[in-house]
Amino acid sequence: MNRPGPERVEEILADHGELRDATDDPELDALRTAIFLEDVFGIVLTDAEIDPAQLGSLEGMRELLARRREAG
Amino acid sequence: MCGICGVVTDGPPPDVDLVRRMMGRLRHRGPDGSGYFRDHRAALGHTRLAIIDTAGGAQPLCNEDENLWITFNGEIFNYVELGEELRRLGHTFRTASDTEVVVHAWEEWGESCFSRFNGQWALALWDRRAERLVLSRDRLGVRPLFFRRDGRGLAFASEVKALFADPSVPRELDPAGLDQTFTYWSTVAPRTIFRGIEQLEPGYVAMLDRDGFRTAPYWSISFPEQGRETGQDTAENAAALRERIIEATRLRFLRSDVPVGAYLSGGIDSSVTAAVIARYTEAPLHTFSLRFDDGEFDEGDYQQKMAAELGAQHQDIVVSHADVAEVFPDVVRHTETPILRSAPAPLFLLSRLVRDHGYKVVVTGEGADEVLAGYDIFREARVRLFWSRDPQSRKRDRAAELLYPWMARSPGRAPAFARSFFGQNLDPDDPALSHRPRWDSTAAVKALLTPGTREAVDGSDARDVTSMMPAGSESWDPLARAQWLEMTTLLPGYILASQGDRMLMANSVEGRFPFLDRDVVELANGLPARHKLCGLDEKHLLKRAFADLVPEEILHRPKQPYRAPDAASFFSREQQPEWLREVTSPAAVRAAGVFDPGQVSGLFAKCARTGGLRMGNTDNMRVLAVLSTQLVHQQFIAGDGSGPGDDAPPEPVLVVDLVNRKRSTP
């Protein structure tokens, strides 16, 4: 299974950022982002990571993906 | 668009009267005239809906030395370019039709000619020298082609009712066909609902000659390995998609010698095709829409907004519950198979509206949901996969709320229940992970079968469709596997047939589908999954590609699947239609032998109590399954499939009869 490399991360996160599907429920929005990240990058998030504080910003998503890359 | 039929035999020459009766039964597919060719081995029949070369394209048609004959239903949209290439190679043309291009293409390239065609077709070629019949069908099954083989030869036709014009053909329901229909919503080619009647698989060519009968694919649905898609850049892919859809739409709008209209549903797909016509052609745009007097199903506001935006001349038809019930027997006469939704009926009325306004051709948005991942089933599958990655996580339960926030009775209001429903039989290694909930809930229809039918169904040789998945599909993205299943089952078996070709051709209207263009499908299948379904955002690239042509309100409206009132159409009135009592009486149900009369009575008593309202999905499917199956039995098993006015071919009739040495021109 091949997944997008680091050079694609910014473009992919930008695509996600353009989606106009945010709700007024941060927990639901975090779930939506988790589905997106798991699908595209082939990772599995823990319940602790499915957190609006982590997934509610571009920076938070970047950090999470970087962490996962470092962990291999 | 037309009707085709024919017979090839080892015995005496084909019976002309039979061929004429077959043509008569295809009158609605081609009311502008008809024709047949016959020699000592074969007969080809044709009923014509004149669209290209209306003056000179009568069929059957032949090559220069009259040894190769064709009967053709459909359009080859790149016929102009192919014709120029064939002329350069020395071929001489007598007409300006796309049909003649097929004849010369076969002469020049043989079996590989079909890969060069960009179109929608079902055709038969008869090579007199080789004594070879060739049948071919387009890639995705836009056009139908049925046949029956016996010890003496083969008969083929656009519709089964034409095969049943031969009284010696047995008419029985096939338990394996019932099993597939009550699982996948339709049979899967080559299977049909009738025992002994086959349909050519989409993307296949069949031959019958001295070496016997054989079929082989010239094309198949395929996807790249996950992550190995050639184009990864979103902007580049959006531009490429836009270019191909514009070209596909232009071809379908401009390559016609009669005016072409457009369907406008209020969703993004038909809005895109109509907007492309308005922006990229000079022709005036006439749009047609379907509305419901039941507000739950109506999309009129969006349709009118889009029509106004386009400056189109716009017509709509408002369909009531009673309208659906009234036309339903006619609808089933054209679907020729049980249907689990009433949704084809309003489309039957819509094509009648088109015809009443003098149009023979419409461009529609059909196919976008399959090709660019618009269906809810793809979103549900993504949520199911999300759950399967951490089955113990309770935090993930709420993902169901992302699926249907617009539904009044959203499963998301009870997350644990929703997860248990959408998460049932959840096996991440199941190649049909996406479709298992639909198939399992549809199979509840089978609980109504008689013990005898149930036994026959259980013992039938219906193949599980997952066993047909191509080698290597396990390396595709899960979305691609779901698309393959959808494009193999529901698209050809129901969407393009019962809701598509049959409802359009019932009123002599040809549908053209830019999203099913060869080049659009090739590009779409090669896209990364995230460009089609981006997280849970369906048809992501399409929205991006046409953001300037489609109003924001339509571009980003929640997906509303096309539906029509089901049980409510038949039970919400004080007076039920006469036909309903006739076909669902205990005696009629017993005579058909498919469903248990006691169970049917119980189901219909419930409908009578509720007026068919607030019925669950399973009961709605059961009601439609019973009604349509009983009508199929009445019309095609007890009856012979004939209808009013279909006993003679439409005039004028072109005759080329080499047996009687008779020749006439229309």
Query: Cβ of B242 under 8 Å from any chain A Cβ?
Result: no
A21 vs B536: CB contact, 8 Å cut-off?
A: yes
Q: How far apart are CA A18 and CA A35, in angstroms?
A: 16
Lowest mean pLDDT among B37-41, B56-60, B148-152, B417-421: B417-421
Task: Give the pLDDT of residue B407.
Answer: 46
Among the listed residues B563, B619, B663, B603, the one whose alpha carbon sits nearest the alpha carbon of residue B324: B563
Residues B503 and B627 both lie in one domain? no
Point out the residue among A1, A21, A47 whose CB comes nearest to the CB of B395. A47
Lowest mean pLDDT among B53-67, B71-85, B158-172: B53-67
Task: Give the pLDDT of residue A4.
Answer: 82
Residues B20 and B165 both lie in one domain? yes
Residues B280 and B361 both lie in one domain? yes
Task: Tell me, letter by letter, the H, E, C secondary structure of B173-227.
Answer: ECHHHHHHHHHHCCCCCCCCCECCCEECCCCEEEEEECCEEEEEECCCCCCCCCC
Task: Give the pLDDT of residue A8.
Answer: 86
Q: Is the pLDDT reported for residue B54 higher than 80?
A: no
Q: How far apart are CA B267 and CA B455, in angstroms?
A: 43
> Chain B residues with CB inside 8 Å of A6's CB?
none
What does the pLDDT look like over B393-439, one tens digit per residue? Answer: 989 988 988 887 654 455 555 666 677 777 777 888 999 999 999 99
Interface predicted TM-score (ipTM): 0.96
Q: How far apart are CA B13 and CA B38, in angstroms?
A: 8
pLDDT interval class at B634 (50, 70, 90): very high
Task: Give the pLDDT of residue B57.
Answer: 76
Please give the average per-residue pLDDT across B75-96, as a whole number. 95
Residues B550 and B581 both lie in one domain? no
B396 vs A50: CB contact, 8 Å cut-off?
A: yes
Nearest-Cα residue of chain A relative to residue B388:
A44
Residues B83 and B16 both lie in one domain? yes
Could you give the percent of chain B with pLDDT greater than 70? 97
> Chain A residues with CB inside 8 Å of B534's CB?
15-16, 19, 36
Residues B341 and B252 both lie in one domain? yes
Nearest CA to CA, how far is B233 from chain A (Å)?
A: 8
Query: Cβ of A15 under 8 Å from any chain B Cβ?
Result: yes
Nearest CA to CA, how far is A53 from chain B (Å)?
A: 15
Residues B505 and B592 both lie in one domain? no
Task: Give the pLDDT of residue B55.
Answer: 75
> Chain B residues with CB inside 8 Å of A4's CB?
227, 232
Residues B149 and B52 both lie in one domain? yes
> Chain A residues with CB inside 8 Å of B396's CB?
31, 47, 50
Please give the average per-residue pLDDT across B453-476, as a whole number. 92
Residues B544 and B627 both lie in one domain? no
Domain range holding B354? 234-366+496-555
Q: How many domains does chain B have?
A: 3
Task: Indicate the DSSP class of residue B315.
Answer: E
Q: Is residue B449 part of a domain?
A: no
Nearest-Cα residue of chain B relative to residue A48:
B395
Q: Which residues pair with B148 in a beta bridge?
A: B155
Nearest CA to CA, how far is A1 from chain B (Å)?
A: 6
3-state class (DSSP) for residue B413: helix
Q: Starting at the earlier edge strand, list the strands of the sheet with B42-48.
A: B198-199, B146-150, B153-157, B2-9, B42-48, B34-38, B653-657, B662-664
Q: Is residue B402 part of a domain?
A: no
Q: Is residue B532 part of a domain?
A: yes
Please give the average per-residue pLDDT across B87-107, as a whole number. 94
> Chain B residues with CB inside 8 Å of A49's CB?
none
Among the listed residues B580, B578, B570, the one whose alpha carbon sits nearest the alpha carbon of residue B608: B570
Q: How far apart are CA B562 and CA B265, in angstroms?
A: 9
Task: Give the pLDDT of residue B590.
Answer: 97
Point out the residue among A35, A36, A47 whose CB comes nearest to the CB of B393. A47
CB distance B321 to B568 below 8 Å? yes
- From residue B179, alpha-carbon distances to B83, B202, B386, B493, B632 in Å are 45, 21, 31, 14, 15
Q: How far apart are CA B454 and CA B12, in angstroms?
A: 41
B386 vs A38: CB contact, 8 Å cut-off?
A: yes
B530 vs A15: CB contact, 8 Å cut-off?
A: yes
Q: Is residue B461 part of a domain?
A: no
3-state class (DSSP) for residue B510: strand
Nearest CA to CA, how far is A6 from chain B (Å)?
A: 13
Nearest CA to CA, how far is B234 from chain A (Å)?
A: 8
Task: Give the pLDDT of residue B641.
Answer: 94
Query: Cβ of A31 under 8 Å from any chain B Cβ?
Result: yes
* Summary mean pLDDT of chain B: 94
CB distance A30 to A56 below 8 Å? yes
> Chain A residues with CB inside 8 Å of B422's CB?
none
Nearest CA to CA, how far is A5 from chain B (Å)?
A: 10
A40 vs B227: CB contact, 8 Å cut-off?
A: no
Q: Is the pLDDT reported for residue B151 higher than 50?
A: yes
Q: Is the pLDDT reported for residue B31 higher than 90?
A: yes
Q: Is residue B386 part of a domain?
A: no
Task: Indicate the DSSP class of residue B31.
Answer: B
Query: Cβ of A9 under 8 Å from any chain B Cβ?
Result: no
> Chain A residues with CB inside 8 Å of B402's CB?
28, 31-32, 35
Q: Is residue B500 part of a domain?
A: yes
Residues B240 and B332 both lie in one domain? yes
Task: Give the pLDDT of residue B408.
Answer: 41
Q: How far apart are CA B565 and CA B345, in angstroms?
A: 10
Nearest CA to CA, how far is A44 from chain B (Å)?
A: 7
Residues B167 and B291 both lie in one domain? no
B535 vs A39: CB contact, 8 Å cut-off?
A: yes
Query: Cβ of A10 under 8 Å from any chain B Cβ?
Result: no
Write down the residue that tokens 């053209």 correspond to.
B512
Q: Is the pLDDT reported for residue B130 higher than 90?
A: yes
Q: Is residue B226 part of a domain?
A: no
Write down the residue that tokens 């001295």 correspond to.
B210
Name the residue with higher pLDDT: A1 or B537: B537
Q: How far apart are CA B641 and CA B28, in angstroms?
A: 14
Nearest CA to CA, how far is B307 from chain A (Å)?
A: 25
CATH of residue B311's domain is 3.40.50.620
Type of residue found at A68:
R
Residues near B455 by beta carbon (within 8 Å), at least 6 away in sequence: none
Please give the average per-residue pLDDT across B331-346, as a whole number. 98
Could you give the percent of chain B with pLDDT greater than 90? 85
Name the residue with higher pLDDT: B421 or B516: B516
Point out the residue among B227, B398, B529 whose CB comes nearest to the CB of A28. B398
Consecutive H or E run containing B519:
helix B518-525
Nearest-Cα residue of chain B relative to residue A29:
B402
CATH of residue B63's domain is 3.60.20.10
Q: How far apart are CA B2 and CA B234, in angstroms?
A: 40
Q: How far apart are CA B144 and CA B366, in angstroms?
A: 16
Tokens of B196: 């002994």
Query: Cβ of A50 under 8 Å from any chain B Cβ?
Result: yes
Q: Is residue B33 part of a domain?
A: yes
Residues B261 and B126 both lie in one domain? no
What does the pLDDT look like over B360-370, one tens digit per residue? Answer: 999 999 999 99
**pTM score, two decimals?**
0.96
